[in-house]
Amino acid sequence: MKKLCSFVLAALLIGGGSTILTQASANNKKWHTNRVGIEHKKDLSPIDTKAPTIPGRIVGYDSRINSIVPADAKLEKLADGFLWVEGPVWNRNEKYLLFSDVKANKIYKWEPGKGISTYLSPSGYTGDTPFNGIEPGSNGLIFDSQGRLVMCQHGNRRVARLENRENNTQIALADRYDNKRLNSPNDLVYKSNGDLYFTDPPYGLPTQRHDDPEKELPFSGVYRLSPDGELTLLTDEIRSPNGIVFSPDEKILYVSDSTTKQSRWLVYDVAPDGTLQNGRTFADGWTWERNRQGNPDGIKVDRAGNVYAAAPEAVFIFAPDGTLLGSIETGVRTSNVAWGEDGHSLFITANTAIYRIRLTATGDGY
């Protein structure tokens, strides 16, 4: 990781705002919606990986954060009360957010002005017998070029495409490598040529361990699935590959490694044939994980190539050179992020809740 700049721009929580209750018709459960006010300060101080987090606080470590996060930024809690939320994705055609509740085996929908509803259940495990684990559901979600939902499924141990939502008809896109079942696909990203890249750690297996008795492959891989169905193992050297995203020019692939005591964000050069070269550490995660809950997880980038990484109790914002510019603190385990609405909204999944923050930066693809 590049040497970090030694000053901090702090934004402090100043109030809880109003609370709105919305009700999901699926299970009569209530979710809370809070607006969290932020007041930016101009004072700067050194990075402190041991400092406790404050939900809603925005911390800056480099003055470039001012061109990314506006002075009046507010972190909004859109919904709460889930089990473990992941995989947010914005539907640009129909204007709604989908996200996984991995433990509940459901995909939920959040729509502006309407709130929460169940979109798909079950979402990741469709077997007839009870699931022998704690995370059966879908994880990472993405829409393909035709607008179809593609899901990383923990319980079914595959990448699948939803064909018909009404009867939950699904097609497996990838479920085996070398005639062995995948571990539990976690997150995914499309390249502009239609290739689908995804990670495959063991977190959907019953024990979530690398030595789980049901694990058939001796490694956790990063794969590429071509439009014609060919599955290629790109690397097996990451112990716990998790979040994954391309740089805007697709010359770089970022992958998070959530292995305890060696967590980090990695970067690879993408060769002309789509394979990976020159893997190296982009940023360290363990120095933060030692004092906070969570680890490196989902990743996205903006048009300028800045990296937005789910991190211990926060979303970290890195420059393309690895400099940590700032963070958006959630105070809880933070799993993933997604751009949405007009490209200036960053949605955050963190523990049991969904958040949104409006940024000056524009998400890649907008």
Instruction: Quickly list DSSP for 40-87.
Output: E--------TTSPP-TT-EEESSGGGGGTS-TT--EEEEE---SSEEE
Can you read off the two tokens belonging to residue 317?
């914002």
**12 pLDDT above the threshold of 70:** no
Cα separation, 364 vs 254, whole angstroms: 14
Tell me the average pLDDT across 342-363. Answer: 98
**242 pLDDT above the threshold of 80:** yes
**59 pLDDT above the threshold of 80:** yes
Cα separation, 27 vs 165, whole angstroms: 18
Cα separation, 152 vs 159, whole angstroms: 5
Q: Are strands 353-358 and 169-174 parallel, antiparallel or unpaired?
A: unpaired
Other Cβ atoms less than 10 A from the Cβ of 313: the count is: 23
**239 pLDDT above the threshold of 50:** yes
Can you read off the two tokens belonging to residue 322?
């690895």
| Closest by Cα among 295, 267, 271, 263 to 281 | 267
Residue corresponding to tokens 């319980």 = 155
Tell me the average pLDDT across 248-260. Answer: 97
158 in Cβ contact with 126 (< 8 Å): no
121 in Cβ contact with 107 (< 8 Å): yes
**21 pLDDT above the threshold of 70:** no
Tell me the average pLDDT across 216-225. Answer: 98
Name the average pLDDT for the chain: 89
Q: Give the pLDDT of residue 50.
A: 84
**341 pLDDT above the threshold of 70:** yes
Q: Give the pLDDT of residue 48.
A: 81
**135 pLDDT above the threshold of 80:** yes
Cα separation, 115 vs 33, whole angstroms: 9
Q: For residue 180, what is the enclosing H or E element?
A: strand 180-181
Give 286-332 pLDDT, tens digit per residue.
Answer: 999 999 999 999 999 999 999 999 999 999 999 999 999 999 999 99
Report the predicted TM-score, pTM, of the whole model to 2 decimal places: 0.89
**18 pLDDT above the threshold of 60:** no
